[in-house]
Amino acid sequence: MSANDTAPDPQLVLVRHGETEWSASGRHTGRSDIPLTVAGEQQAVAAGVWLQRWADRRGRRPAVVLSSPRQRARRTADLAGFPDAATDDDLAEWDYGPVDGQTAVAVSEQIGRDWLIFRDGVNVLAAANGHRGEELADVAERAGRVVGRVEPTLQGGEDVVLFAHGHLLRVLTTVWLGVDPGLGARLELGTAAICLLGYGHGLRTIEGWNLSAQG
């Protein structure tokens, strides 16, 4: 039996960035470039410890590590032990347009009904500067490009780690599973949480979801 016969199956690891002031208060953070809080930095370090143990168990380091260009994701990657992670613009968070910086409660009050981003989208308010946000399908298209770029590495038997954002990673997971991106509404994802995607019986699967590195 060769070493490849006993090697663990490849995994696509998703890591949401650590806490920011806006994530802690429920404000939607798209293109706004908000730094980590002290707690967020501690979360990122804990995620790094988790990832090191994961790599040790598997007997290999990830072959590819990518990060969103936003500082909250890049700093998380850095503190988690991947300072050389390449940035990928397609991993940036959903461009929220007119609802960037607002909470779901505030948006709901302005439109006069409960607002659900995966159902209603982000262009439910007039943008003061005329900038419209992305549609869900646009986010899914970007996520699909990321999957397309990393899947050859996974198919080659190696692992990939992505540092990005809550909504982007939830949409990417629906793309991975080949289901309606709107189902991302049902995939809660905490700050600095880790998810494991993989393969089983010829299907793309979820092997672990919303795992806390802090126990």
pLDDT digits (tens, 9 = 90+) for 89-132: 999 999 999 999 999 999 999 999 999 999 999 999 998 788 89
The reported pLDDT for the residue numbered 4 is 54
**179: amino acid identity, one letter:** V
Instruction: Report d(CA 124, CA 116) in Å as an integer.
Output: 11
> CB of 126 within 8 A of CB of 53?
no
pLDDT band at 33 (very low <50, low <70, confident <90, very high): very high
Please compute the mean of the pLDDT values over residues 71-89 and round it to a whole number.
98
Tokens representing 213 are: 């590195």
Indicate the pTM of the whole model: 0.96
Which residues is 87 bridged to in the sheet? 67
Q: Is 91 exposed, middle or buried (0-12, 13-18, 19+ CB in 10 A)?
A: buried
Catalytic residue among 19, 93, 134, 167: 93
Three-state secondary structure call for residue 105: helix
The reported pLDDT for the residue numbered 21 is 98
Q: Residue 205 phi/psi, 5° resolution? A: -135, 165
Which residues is 162 bridged to in the sheet? 14, 66
Q: What single-letter DSSP state applies at residue 36?
A: B
The reported pLDDT for the residue numbered 214 is 79
**9: amino acid identity, one letter:** D
Cα–Cα distances in Å, from 199 out to 1, 28, 153, 191, 204?
22, 32, 13, 25, 5
Least-confidence region, from 3-17, 58-72, 199-213:
3-17
pLDDT digits (tens, 9 = 90+) for 45-74: 999 999 999 999 999 999 999 999 999 999
Angle formed by the axes of helices 38-58 and 71-79, to 10°? Answer: 50
Q: What is the chain's Cα-based Rg?
A: 17
Three-state secondary structure call for residue 87: strand
Instruction: Report d(CA 147, CA 206) in Å as an integer.
Output: 14
Q: Does the annotation mark 167 as catalytic? A: no
Cα–Cα distances in Å, from 32 out to 1, 81, 124, 164?
52, 24, 19, 14
The reported pLDDT for the residue numbered 56 is 98
Catalytic residue among 17, 28, 165, 167: 17
pLDDT digits (tens, 9 = 90+) for 144-203: 999 999 999 999 999 999 999 999 999 999 999 999 999 999 999 999 999 999 999 999
The reported pLDDT for the residue numbered 5 is 61
Q: Does the annotation mark 93 as catalytic? A: yes
Instruction: Report d(CA 7, CA 161) in Å as an integer.
Output: 18
pLDDT band at 1 (very low <50, low <70, confident <90, very high): very low
pLDDT band at 215 (very low <50, low <70, confident <90, very high): low
